[in-house]
Structure 1
Amino acid sequence: MTNAPIWQWSAVETAAAIRNGEATSEQVVRAHLDRKQEANPALNAVVVDLGDTAMKAAKAADEALAASKRGGAVGPLHGVPVTIKINIDVEGQANSNGVVAFKDNIAPGDSPVTANLKKAGAIIIGLTNTPEFSLRGFTDNPLHGLTRNPWNADVTCGGSSGGAGASIAAGIGTIAHGNDIGGSLRWPAHCNGIATIKPTQGRIPAFNPSATAERPLMAQFMSSQGPLARHVADVRLGLEVMAQRDPRDPWYVPAPLTGPKPAAPVKVALAKIPEDMVTDRGVIALQRKAADHLADAGYAVSEVEVPELNKVWQLWCDLIMTETRVLQQDQMLAASSADFQKTFHGFMALANPLDQAGYMKAIAERSRHIRAWMTFLEQYPLVLMPTSVRQTPEVNADLGGDQRVKDLFWNDLRFISSMNVLGLPAAVVPVGLHEGLPVGVQIVGSRYREDMCLDAAEAIERKVGILARQLWERR
């Protein structure tokens, strides 16, 4: 194994070391808990410490591994430490979703992702922070407080999986769970210099036993569970583990994780930036460098305008905000802080309010956009696009009023949220630093072709390296 400290090992390396007897799960989990004790006070990324139960689980994992040597089998993450975002159910723990009123919302059972991680042998060492209702792109709430970016405490760690992103970059856990309804996996990956995949809708099963009502329909179709990690190979492993069937999700699709080998060279569309976008030249230059990395790896890259990006983003905003306004707004405003309400009203100002007929027409229009993108992806199987077109903003930048919310989510992050309404897989991988802060790029593929997105992400990673190592070296 590498001479690096245990907490710096990849999930793949860690699982192999445990299986091969080069390290015990107790040693590995203890190393990550020690790292958490060292790094987390400055970050506030892990807000529920499960260290005691994790060490008991690690001892049990080592005993189970010893028994397996006599003819049993262990899972692909046996004894490996991971974290869970605090908005999905872990039996016996409160699924607070960052809301004070939900601090005693004890989960009666595990969500499918939690159950799948446990079945694979993973050990949960803590729960990570999220904004209230997981509905901001900035991770702060009155229950657990503000999560800081490990690269620079003055800029955001992103959201809503901000605690997950910050913890992984800092070396707490090997894989973090997160979820994404408007960019909540990809935006924190960008901000913290790590990798992720927003899977195709239906790839990873989702359900919370603690829920008292079903989510609105389009929210179900736009939301995805997924892994965040420092290495693309770990994202791939996390995806494989999380994507196991669970009958509680009626939208789960048992699609193969690897599709047919595409004809070479794979054509990549480098997405043209809309003329109305205000961009940071240094950020865009790094994204173009990612295109060069793909070209060097044998991909055929062409700059192309993608289908109706602006309309797709507006459709996402209109649908999700209409459902929220009709079915969830009263509860959210009654249980939330003034900060949340400020951002919430900024989001509502971006959306066109839809009546019943308008909502039905918008759902129908979604099919047209998905068809257009699927056809486009027949010609260009991958699309390389920005996560953000500008430098990572300051902490809680979305509290600067309606215009600031528009600048952030319509201008800066337009390429991210658009992919949710389409249900397409999208990976993010770091491409470098601009003025000391990480910049990531997004790679979008056709439905259930996460493998192609991750292949391209790995090609970029081979050129760039593991960005988190630069963070550790400067400490």
Structure 2
Amino acid sequence: MTQDIIFTDATGLAELIRTKQLSPVEVVRAHLDRIAAVDPKVNAIVTVADGALAAAKEAEAAVMTGQDLGPLHGVPFSVKDSIDTAGVMTQRGSPIFKGRTPDTDATSVARMKKAGGILLAKTNLPEFSYWIESDNLLSGRSNNPWDLDRTPGGSSGGESAAIAAGMSPLGLGTDLAISVRGPAAQTGIVSLKATHGRVPMTGIWPRAPRRFWHVGPMARSIRDLALAFSQLAGPDGQDAFATSTVPFDAGLGAAPDRKLRVGWMVEPGFGPIDSQVAATVKAAAEALKGEGHHVEEVRIPALERDFALDVFNKLHVMEMKPAFRVATAGHEDLMYRMSKTMRSLPDTSMEDYVAAEQAAERLRDGYATYFRDFDVLLTPVLPVPAHKHGIKDLVVNGETVDLTYLQGATVPLNVTGLPGLSMRFGTSREGLPINVQLVGRWQAETTILHAASVLEAVSPVRGLHPSL
């Protein structure tokens, strides 16, 4: 029974709780037991919320007395440790903030609780969410449940590992360049980086700058992403980027009155891509074609003219360094190597910064041109499956590139703000998950969630879980 509970998606758990087939206490206890059993090997959990069982008992009483129940009533969820949680430590992966306990929840956490969710645990990350492997001086390194010698990614790597390993059914991560979509790909779960500003960043470090930052759901099923997003989206009156009132239907929306127009691409524009990853993207394209949608291979010239990772680096280093200097002032001895590296990077010249801003506009225009003719863009998430811990370079199809190239296909959506979804559709020769990315036009989350649900229904890897 415990095994059934820990690998049931959040939507399914909510229905079982609502119909009194499971109690919230059973569900929370099953996940706490799973954490105790497997987290010593995975190291995804930073803090277990003290009030989880008490909240589960209250949720059970609400079911038994016939009270109105939220869509996530009694369902546990986990939260990346950069996102504020009232009364539960939020330490940002840094000894500088050891023991820090916020008084209030981030907007995203408060909305999950309002929907009936129960905060279960906080999950690991790189210091300040600033790297592509989840390792820090405070809580150590997280491991991939599919292969403990490999990374679950970053910066939401603890979150992805917890969900993949059955320690949590649903969670919140943040995404600056890769950080919900990449970890999802490395552990074979699903995640959504919605259009920039759709979900408020209130209560998440850094407060500024945040024009490339997103917070989004990570889960086991596409319907869970839709359900969570329906609760998370909308302005909160505090985050000035979060202004959209475009409605979202948690039921994935009605199917379009015509077939989807889908373009797929692997290269060029993202850097080198492993042949197994390329084959998985093509297989997903063929699957959509097999379901009757219009599918063709495409190119986006703007991505070939301006490499989005270079554009992002020029813009973000200039904007982020002041936040790092403030946060770490006087604590240099407590900093992990990536924060030290960030502090030491040379400033972008004003000339280069302006040129990068112009390049970013060309990228936005390039996607706008593409989406005149297509509804969805299908791409890789990562150039390779999950890599081993501690490497400095990637060798992809015989070409050696810097590890930051992991972000080649994800960072364009942070520069442009467009929505992107990561979902598994393949398996490497070594048994590791391979995900694909579905990209939509501005505020078209319903479209990519619908396309993802089509793929999920015919997925060759549906229902696979790591054995720990």
Q: Which amino acid aligns with 1:132?
A: E
Residues 87, 103 of structure 2: 8 Å contact kept: yes
**2:42 matched residue in structure 1:** 43
Q: Which has the higher helix share?
A: 1
Q: CA RMSD in A?
A: 2.6
- Mean CA deviation greater in 165-174 or 93-102: 93-102
**1:20 matched residue in structure 2:** 19
**2:315 matched residue in structure 1:** 319
What displacement does 1:247 show?
1.8
Separation of aligned partners in 2, 1:66 and 1:470: 34
Which of 446, 452, 458 is the equivalent residue of 1:463?
458
**1:112 matched residue in structure 2:** 107
What displacement does 1:278 show?
3.3
What displacement does 1:77 show?
0.3
Secondary structure (helix, strand or coil) at the match of 2:372 reads helix
**2:370 matched residue in structure 1:** 376
**1:298 matched residue in structure 2:** 292
- Mean CA deviation greater in 104-113 or 276-285: 276-285
**1:419 matched residue in structure 2:** 413
Separation of aligned partners in 1, 2:338 and 2:186: 21
Residues 116, 244 of structure 1: 8 Å contact kept: no
**2:150 matched residue in structure 1:** 155
Superposition TM-score, scaled by structure 2 size: 0.90
Separation of aligned partners in 2, 1:376 and 1:32: 44
Q: Does 1:249 align with 2:239?
A: yes
Secondary structure (helix, strand or coil) at the match of 1:196 reads strand
**2:116 matched residue in structure 1:** 121
Residues 80, 125 of structure 2: 8 Å contact kept: yes
What displacement does 1:134 show?
0.4
Q: Which amino acid aligns with 2:223?
A: A
1:399-441 CA-partner distances (Å, limit 9, x unpaired): 89xxx9952223x431111110110000011012102111000
Separation of aligned partners in 2, 1:204 and 1:416: 18
What displacement does 1:49 show?
1.1
**1:236 matched residue in structure 2:** 226
Secondary structure (helix, strand or coil) at the match of 1:379 reads coil
Separation of aligned partners in 2, 1:256 and 1:358: 38
Secondary structure (helix, strand or coil) at the match of 1:15 reads helix
Separation of aligned partners in 2, 1:129 and 1:275: 31
Separation of aligned partners in 2, 1:275 and 1:27: 48
Separation of aligned partners in 2, 1:329 and 1:384: 38
The unaligned stretches of length 5 or more in structure 1 are: none
- Mean CA deviation greater in 422-431 or 328-337: 328-337
| Residues 119 and 341 (structure 1), Cα distance of their counterparts in 2 relative to 1, 3 Å cut | closer
**1:363 matched residue in structure 2:** 357
Q: How does 1:178-327 map to 2 (within 5 A)?
A: 178-208=173-203, 214-216=207-209, 220-252=210-242, 253-258=244-249, 262=256, 264-274=258-268, 277-310=271-304, 311=306, 312-327=308-323
Separation of aligned partners in 1, 2:237 and 2:402: 41
What displacement does 1:260 show?
8.4
Separation of aligned partners in 2, 1:276 and 1:251: 27
**2:436 matched residue in structure 1:** 441
Secondary structure (helix, strand or coil) at the match of 2:259 reads coil
What displacement does 1:389 show?
1.9
| Residues 360 and 283 (structure 1), Cα distance of their counterparts in 2 relative to 1, 3 Å cut | closer
- Mean CA deviation greater in 276-285 or 185-194: 276-285
Separation of aligned partners in 1, 2:198 and 2:349: 31
Residues 342, 399 of structure 1: 8 Å contact kept: no
What displacement does 1:361 show?
5.1
Secondary structure (helix, strand or coil) at the match of 1:126 reads strand
Residues 175, 193 of structure 2: 8 Å contact kept: yes
**1:60 matched residue in structure 2:** 58
The unaligned stretches of length 5 or more in structure 2 are: none
Separation of aligned partners in 2, 1:264 and 1:343: 50
Separation of aligned partners in 1, 2:269 and 2:101: 48
Secondary structure (helix, strand or coil) at the match of 1:409 reads helix
Q: Which amino acid aligns with 2:240?
A: P
1:148-192 CA-partner distances (Å, limit 9, x unpaired): 000001111001000000000001121011010101000000000
Q: Does 1:452 align with 2:447?
A: yes
Residues 421, 437 of structure 2: 8 Å contact kept: yes
Question: Runs in 1 of length 4+ with deviation above 6 angstroms?
Answer: none
Superposition TM-score, scaled by structure 1 size: 0.89
Q: Does 1:103 align with 2:98?
A: yes
Separation of aligned partners in 2, 1:9 and 1:172: 11
Residues 303, 366 of structure 2: 8 Å contact kept: no
What displacement does 1:235 show?
1.2
Residues 130, 339 of structure 2: 8 Å contact kept: no
| Residues 3 and 170 (structure 1), Cα distance of their counterparts in 2 relative to 1, 3 Å cut | closer
